[in-house]
Amino acid sequence: MLSFFKYQGTGNDFVMIDAREVEINLSQEEIAAICSRRFGVGADGLILLKNADGYDFRMVYYNADGREGSMCGNGGRCTVKFAADLGIFEKETSFIAVDGPHEALLIDDKVRLKMTDTAAVAEVDGNSFYNTGSPHVVIYSDNLGALDVNKEGAAIRYNEYWQAAGGSNINFVELKGSQSIAVRTYERGVEAETYSCGTGVTACALDAWQKHQMKSPVAINTLGGQLEVSFEQKTDGSFSNIWLEGPALRVFKGIW
Ligand SMILES: N[C@H](CCC[C@H](N)C(=O)O)C(=O)O
């Protein structure tokens, strides 16, 4: 018998397991079955919270397809909330994930997560590209609500270039105001649109500054709610001091 928790951050949802005292060995098929919306618990990913020397904890993130993923921003925020709920820290924490160390703060029911420093924009296959811990393509739309994100996202994610390059997450952005954007994301590893993608909205905020002079902090509307991204740009065009903030909530506890 194993207990697990379900968390969501702006509708990006995760099965969360406290793996500090127990050895969890789940196969790719088992993780995919747990994440399945119809045959399992249902989630965009599964996260193990483990012990880590020199840090409060380690986050190990698997995409819904059962493969270990690159960094997940909303998953990171949910893991921080999980760690606080487990009594690991009270206000401030530092943890390690696949893309390196992260700091985070708890502000009421919101989690403010420091993201990895990000290289300057690259033009890849005709679009802006950033690696904010995960690979992200940024594409603008002036009618985001009407977009078929599953169709348009898959067409790019599976085109010749990205197939050879290992795939990417594909974000569609609509400019909304002087400091606000709306974003919809097709996620690699889920292979569908999710309600929100933390590393994705981070890439979009950086690009809104780079291409449209949008000032930090940028408010981002996603299908699952509001996020905020703040950042600084260095003279070489790269970005540092990037913070992603938004709600992260426990949804339920279960046993299997
Ligand atoms: N939903 C995640 C992104 C996961 C990235 C994953 N889809 C991959 O490319 O491995 C987030 O909030 O940042």
**DSSP codes of every residue in the chain:** --EEEEEEETTEEEEEEE-SSS-----HHHHHHHH-TTTSS--SEEEEEE--TTSSEEEEEEETTSSB-S--HHHHHHHHHHHHHTTS-SSEEEEEETTEEEEEEEETTEEEEEPPPBPPPEEETTEEEEESSSEEEEEE-S-GGG--HHHHHHHHHTSHHHHHTT--EEEEEEEEETTEEEEEEEETTTTEEES--HHHHHHHHHHHHHHH-PPSSEEEEETTEEEEEEEEE-TTS-EEEEEEEEE-EEEEEEE-
Domain, as residue range, for 53? 3-112+248-255
Q: Would the pLDDT of 1 be above 90? A: no
- Looking at the structure, tell me whether residues 156 and 102 fall in a common domain: no
- Which residue has a Cα nearest atom 10 of ligand 1? 69
Ligand 1 pocket residue status of 9, Cβ below 6 Å? no
For the domain that residue 197 is a member of, what is the CATH number? 3.10.310.10
Q: Is 174 annotated as a binding residue?
A: no
How confident is the model over 109-134, as pLDDT tens digits? 899 999 999 999 999 999 999 999 99
Q: How far is the CA of 188 from the centre of ligand 1 (A)?
A: 7
Q: Quote the number of domains for the chain.
A: 2
- Looking at the structure, tell me whether residues 107 and 169 fall in a common domain: no
Task: Name the band, by pLDDT with cuts 50, 70 and 90, for residue 41.
Answer: very high
- Which residue has a Cα nearest atom 2 of ligand 1? 72
How confident is the model over 158-196, as pLDDT tens digits? 999 999 999 999 999 999 999 999 999 999 999 999 999
Domain-located, residue 23: yes
Task: Name the band, by pLDDT with cuts 50, 70 and 90, for residue 2.
Answer: confident
> Contact, 117 vs 240, CB < 8 A?
yes
Ligand 1 pocket residue status of 221, Cβ below 6 Å? no
- Looking at the structure, tell me whether residues 106 and 67 fall in a common domain: yes
How confident is the model over 65-94, as pLDDT tens digits? 999 999 999 999 999 999 999 999 999 999
- Looking at the structure, tell me whether residues 157 and 106 fall in a common domain: no
Catalytic status, residue 197: yes
- Looking at the structure, tell me whether residues 32 and 87 fall in a common domain: yes
Domain-located, residue 126: yes
Ligand 1 pocket residue status of 34, Cβ below 6 Å? no
Domain-located, residue 56: yes
- Looking at the structure, tell me whether residues 94 and 153 fall in a common domain: no
Ligand 1 pocket residue status of 189, Cβ below 6 Å? yes
- Looking at the structure, tell me whether residues 133 and 66 fall in a common domain: no
Domain-located, residue 117: no
To the nearest whole number, what is the mean pLDDT of the chain?
97
Atom in ligand 1 nearest the alpha carbon of residue 44: 1
Q: What is the pTM of this model?
A: 0.97
> Contact, 69 vs 49, CB < 8 A?
no
Buried b (16+ CB within 10 A) or exposed e, 139-166: bbbeebeebebeebbbebbeeeebeeee
Q: How far is the CA of 87 from the centre of ligand 1 (A)?
A: 26
> What does the alpha-carbon distance between residue 129 and residue 148 come to, in Å, rounded to a whole number?
21
The pair of three-digit structure tokens given for residue 144, joined into one six-digit string: 């985001």
Catalytic status, residue 78: no
Ligand 1 pocket residue status of 70, Cβ below 6 Å? yes
How confident is the model over 229-249, as pLDDT tens digits? 999 999 999 999 999 999 999
